[in-house]
Amino acid sequence: MEWTKERRYRSMDDVSNEEIEGLAKLVSQCPWRQSFHIQPVTGLLNDPNGFAYFNGEYHLFYQWFPLGPVHGLKHWYHTKSKDLVHWENVGLAVAPSNDYDSHGAYSGSAIEHDGQLFLLYTGNTRDENWNRQPYQCVAVMSQSGSITKKDFPVIDNVPSGYTDHFRDPKVWKQDGIFYAVIGAQRDNKTGCVVLYQSANLKDWQFVGELQTGLENFGYMWECPDYFELDKKGVLIFSPQGLKAEGDRYQNIYQSGYVIGEPLDIEKNELTHGIFYELDRGFDFYAPQTIQDPKGKRILVGWMGLPEIDYPTDKNGWAHCLTLPRELMIKEGKIIQQPAAGLELLRGEKTEATKVLNDESAAFKDFEGEVYELITDFSASTAEEFGIELRVGDNEKTVIKYDALEKKVIFDRTHSGQSFAEKYGSIRKCELDTETISFRIFVDVSSVEVFVNDGEEVFTSRIFPGKESRGIRFFSRGGQTNVRASKWELVV
């Protein structure tokens, strides 16, 4: 099927029930549908949007093109949860319907105000010459869950000095004033973030460009998110156009953060340290955070990347969201841990211990395609040691520690059906440590690895055969003690 511009930008009102039913049937036949991750009912999912706690529930929206695994006319799709673990599909939330979002309801955020949830998003429009004009728009969700779009944009122009790449507002409230950061591109084709303020979420004033220490850092900054944690200011964003540097910036686009002093609103300045990647794996982009009712900062990311074909495409859908992660700051870096409550998924537990001496070993009842695995390696003299997951006759996904290089390595070279090969099949990061622990969540077509209680995280889609269910532990060039616990996950 050729995805022409006309096919990508059809209104759902013009789509027959037969086409929707056919697409749903195609999706249901896919062998790589996930079990405990948020995924689209059909079509393409991308950025998480409007993440909020409202009316006693977590609400999470995502960018959605319903008709296929491509980037077309974007909508917001709505899911909700009481515990960040079990999610309920609510359905279509925001659809393009007026002159200000005619070519897509693009990414944005949410905030509670006056007993309602305000959804601030970028409306994408195109003229007859396909020139873009972005608007920042508002929809409002009542406590009953009904959503009403405002008939006018709340920010109707791009400030002088910036291109039409101007999107993804993230809103917060501070000292009685609402603020929003928006991802932007300067006229000189470099990326940045700008700041707006409002007293009522309807009338917004341009404060100016957020001053950072990153003047020439990629050509566009997407999905900015500012918050304060442990009395520090944190800016998360997704810069496009960074060149690879050693093990860093290996993906087509990156996502990361800077930490510094709290944002100086008067000077519109963020004094900060170096840029760190949030995730060292293959498939992670456009994260968004909220503060939960207990004051914890929770992050969800898109488990995917733009401009890459995935094996699920032929079944009419693409991508999912990551598990929610709690953020903390330790020694100037963000630590990410699976959100509390994910233990609710745990079913039957299996444990094993062994001293591995230049060998591989499989343990009784350690196998599967959906599980949580915690493995500790200690007292090691081995040159390298680790785990092989989703092992089959010719398939395996390898997570290991190279003690000579002092690097954690994620290798999906033989993980199953290959894709995105031009970006490589191995990811690495430096970690100088005596002991290593891996907390790993394996779903039907993904792996999320939390290293040493979240000091580093690797997220990856994998597409193995259903018969590839084995788990092996290994050491090479010496010995290591391994202790492993595995839980079946029950959704």
Catalytic residues: 47
Amino acid at 333: K
Token output for 6: 């006309």
Which distant-in-sequence residues (6+ apart) come within 8 Å of 54 by Cβ?
Answer: 110, 112, 117, 141
Radius of gyration of the CA atoms of the chain, in A: 23
| Residue 205 Cα distances to 75, 107, 113, 401, angstroms | 27, 20, 19, 50
Residue with tokens 């293959």: 282
What are residue 126's DSSP bridge partners?
A: 132
Phi-psi region of 163 (alpha: psi -120 to 50; beta: other; left: phi over 0): beta
Distance CA 212, CA 217 (A): 11
Q: Which of 213, 107, 248, 205 is nearest to 165 (CA)?
A: 107
Q: Which three-class secondary structure state does DSSP give residue 315? A: helix
Q: Could you count the other beta carbons within 10 Å of the beta carbon of residue 442?
A: 22
What are residue 450's DSSP bridge partners?
A: 439, 457
Q: What are phi and psi of 131, to 5 degrees?
A: -80, 140
